Structure 1
Amino acid sequence: MQDYIKTFFAFRKQIILLTISGAVFFGLFLYLVYPVKYASTVSILPPEQEKGGSLQSLMMGGDLSNLLGGGGAASSQLFAEIIKSRTAHEYVIRKLDLFRYFDNPDMTECVRKLSGAVNPEVTKEGILKITTELATGISGRLTGEKKEVQEMTAKISNTFAAALDSINRAKNNSKAKKARVYIESQLKTTKSDLDSAEMALMIFQKDNKAISLPEQIKVSIETAAKLKSEIITTEIKLDFLSKNFNSNNPSVIELQTQLQALRNEYNKLSAVGDEYLTAFSKAPSLGQQLANLMREVKVLNEVYLLLQQQYYKELIQENRDYATVEVLDPAVPPTRVSSPSFVPTFLSASIFIFFIVFLYYYLSRGALSKYIKGNNV
């Protein structure tokens, strides 16, 4: 320690002078020559969560396409992954003509450069922040390039938000189309079954005009019809999910469990109705046939009406044009440099220069001492 102190006091003028000179030179280089970076951030609110996969979602007017996820069920983390995608990068590059900015006509190379400049990050509150950081060339603080870089960082961040909205909207519309096509096929099948059931009921009533059902049986039929329609819509949902997910998917398993519970309830209700019809003294066999035909017509009619509602909902969803991304704070051109930070960098460099100069004189003093001792010997 004494050697260090002696060295400093012995060469303090030289050490201080060289340190100040080096620090001033570095400061001028850092401020006047070294490229600087500017960053701009756009903040996006987390998507609203909509529960679309419950058993009653169709009965309550929910969209069948919600079962596939997306729309409100998307997460901020999913949004961040979309921002990282090549599709989003290509959207921004074409929208802003970044081929010119990056001075490169190759899409792959432009995607690589843009990917290194953009950083999507999700906060603990679920807010997505898309930050774009671009660097100027040499002497960027003093040239007109600074303004171009400042404006471009904001444009890129905001355009990524637009890209996210465009991709998410296309995804939602695609799911709605898939659901609409599926419902359309179910509508045709149900309409055919309904026409056949109505025709069978009409023929039966024409041939058996004297047969009528007690009021209790009619109420039972109404209840059974509603329950049966729930079973059929649940089967439709399960079939739709099974075409898009494997059997281990939680939503598929949940629907299978709920479907079995509905079937058990329906079987119990049917057993009660059958017992009552057996006691129907006049014509139990004809009464059973009439009840079954009426129940079939009511079930198919309810299912058909429900599918019609869903069909038009999915058709509207498929063709609607609305924003799916809500921007909290749009990006604005930055006024302050994001990197390098002048004061911390300058102080760190000054300390480093001091130690380099001090080490030089410390080693020089040691070598000089050895040389003097050698000559004295």
Structure 2
Amino acid sequence: MKPENAKQYVEDRDGEVFLLDYLIVIMKRKWLIFCMAFFAAIIGGVYVYLQPNIYTATVRVLIPVKSDSGLSGIIANAAGDFAGAILGGSSAADVYKGILESRTVTDRLIDRFSLKERYGEQYMESTRQKLLKNTKIEGGEGQIISISVKDEEAQTAADIANAYTNELDRINRNVNITEGHLKRVFLEKRLEKVKDELLEVEGRLKGFQEKYGLVALEEQAKATIEGAAKIKGEIVLAQTELEVFKKFGTVRNKEAVRLESKISELTNQLVQIEAGTNGGELIRRTGSEGKMEANFYIPFNELPSLGLQLARLTREAKIQEEVFKLVTSQYELAKIEEARDINTIQILDSAVPPDKKSGPQRVLIALLAATAGLFIGIVAAFFREFMANLKDADPDRYKLFVRYSPVHRSKV
């Protein structure tokens, strides 16, 4: 079909547009479309050919899991809960990613590898953005994170990736040292407090025992009861003899007087044993060296109270002693943890210089450029067809459009 016939065919359909109309325009301007796509592919190919090769090096590290046993684990968990509250419940991988992307780490890498000059940037902020753009940090399964770095040189890419792990280990080590120091200081203060509390309880227990003459409460209570029973028996026996003398013997009044005196003395001794006082003072006896010692007997009326107080003081002393032992052991562990030098991360795969480039993908870029040129060529073809139809249908409007459109200078 000739162009004139095609034009007449389109007009006869009263403005209806079909797919065939578009195909006719494309076939009519096929050389324009082909040239646009061809030159776009050539330009894209030349551009991507001039771009340097890009290499990607990757390092994988394992985040260590700390032990949560003992008092140190409790303290570490408390610190972890506090950090988790601040970070909004972030995982360990997210925390380490935040550390790696921090200004402290990026600035050290920029200074170490002279990235400001290498990237051709004038400002530190733009250099940081370029470095972060060339770095990809991903959290894998479990506690594994990978760090990938892109650079024009394979060795430099590997060096920067490994330097990330060095900086992560350095910061994590400083944090752990600070944490160990805080643990040790906390336990040291706690140990001093527990020690003072233990000495205070032991002092009260000693004073209580000295005040009431307590050596062995059970044995002393038993001796008190047996002593009182013996004296009570002697009193009953003396009273019986006295009654006999009073009824059947009057000539032996001296013996009756002696018995009465004995009964009075034994009664006083029994009262002293039961009450534990003699003129308001505790019963005392003279020791072998002439010193006053606490009486071995305990007053009956004070046995329950003294037993309860002694049990409480003894229990409190044992509790404080156990706490002192526990805190002392944890304090020694904290000192060891503070002093030891360990790696805070484990490197699973160190970054090595890659032997194959990761970019640019020259063929793909050239195809994309050709596709873009093809699209632009089709748009240009339809625009030229529109201008040709406008010139034939309305020459005045065409001339007006050309006058105010410097872009459309060529003859259609």
- Please state which band the TM-score falls in when normalised by the shorter chain: 0.5 to 0.7
Alpha-carbon distance change, 370 to 299 in structure 1, aligned in 2, over 3 angstroms: closer
| Structure 1: distance between partners of 2:216 and 2:27 | 125
User: Once the two structures are superposed, what CA deviation does each residue of 1:240-259 show, in whole Å capped at 9, x if it has no partner?
Assistant: xxxxxxxxxxxxxxxxxxxx
**Residue type matched to 1:163 in 2?**
E
What do the CA deviations read for 1:102-122 (whole angstroms, capped 9, x no partner)? 466965554444334333222
Note the alpha carbon deviations across 1:291-324, whole angstroms, 9 max, x for none: 2232122111111111111111111222222112
Counterpart selection for 2:187 from 183, 187, 206: 183
1:7 aligns with 2:34: no
CA–CA distance in structure 1, aligned partners of residues 202 and 138 of structure 2: 59
| 2:167 equivalent in structure 1 | 163
1:65–1:178 Cα contact (<8 Å) kept: no
Query: What CA deviation, in whole Å up to 9, does each residue of 1:81-130 have, x standing for no partner?
Result: 11122222233334445455346696555444433433322245553222
The aligned counterpart of 1:91 is: 108
- Rounded Cα–Cα distance in structure 1 between residues aligned with 2:140 and 2:181: 33
Q: 1:333 aligns with which of 341, 353, 362?
A: 353
Pairing 1:361–2:367 present: no
The TM-score normalised by the length of structure 1 is 0.65
Q: Could you list the runs of 5+ residues in structure 2 that have no partner in the other structure?
A: 1-18, 85-90, 221-299, 396-412
1:203 Cα shift? 4.8
Is the alpha carbon distance of 1:46 and 1:213 closer, same or farther for their aligned partners in structure 2, counting shifts above 3 Å?
Answer: farther
Larger radius of gyration: 2
CA distance in 1, matches of 2:140, 2:304: 69
Partner of 2:306: 286
Change (3 A) 1:96 1:323: farther
| Distance in 1 between residues matched to 2:143 and 2:216, nearest whole Å | 68
Q: Aligned runs of 1:54-93 on 2, under 5 Å?
A: 57-58=70-71, 62=73, 64-69=75-80, 75-93=92-110
Sort the Cα spacing of 1:335 and 1:123 in 2 relative to 1 into closer, same or farther, 3 A.
same
Letter in 1 for 2:171: I
Report the TM-score, using the length of structure 2 for normalisation: 0.60
Checking the alignment, whether the CA contact within 8 Å between 1:8 and 1:358 is kept in structure 2 is yes
Deviation at 1:173, TM superposition (A): 1.9
Between stretches 318-327 and 333-342, larger displacement belongs to 333-342
Structure 2: distance between partners of 1:328 and 1:289: 62
Work out which of the residue numbers 195, 202, 209 in structure 1 matches 2:199.
Answer: 195
Shift of 1:341: 2.6
Q: Does 1:208 align with 2:195?
A: no
- Which residue of structure 1 aligns with residue 45 of structure 2? 27
Contact kept, 8 Å, 2:93 with 2:139, in 1: the verdict is yes
Q: Which runs of 5+ in 1 are unaligned?
A: 135-145, 215-279
Q: Output the CA distance in 2 between the equivalents of 1:199 and 1:105.
A: 73
Counterpart contact for 2:63–2:144, Cα < 8 Å: yes
Structure 1 CA distance, aligned partners of 2:134 and 2:393? 59
The aligned runs of 1:205-244 (5 Å cut-off) are: 205=209, 207-212=213-218
Look up the SS of the partner of 1:39 in the other structure.
strand
Larger mean Cα displacement after TM superposition, 172-181 or 121-130: 121-130
| Amino acid corresponding to residue 152 of structure 1 in structure 2 | T
| Superposed CA offset, 1:47-73 (max 9, x none) | 426445xxxx43xx7463443129xx9
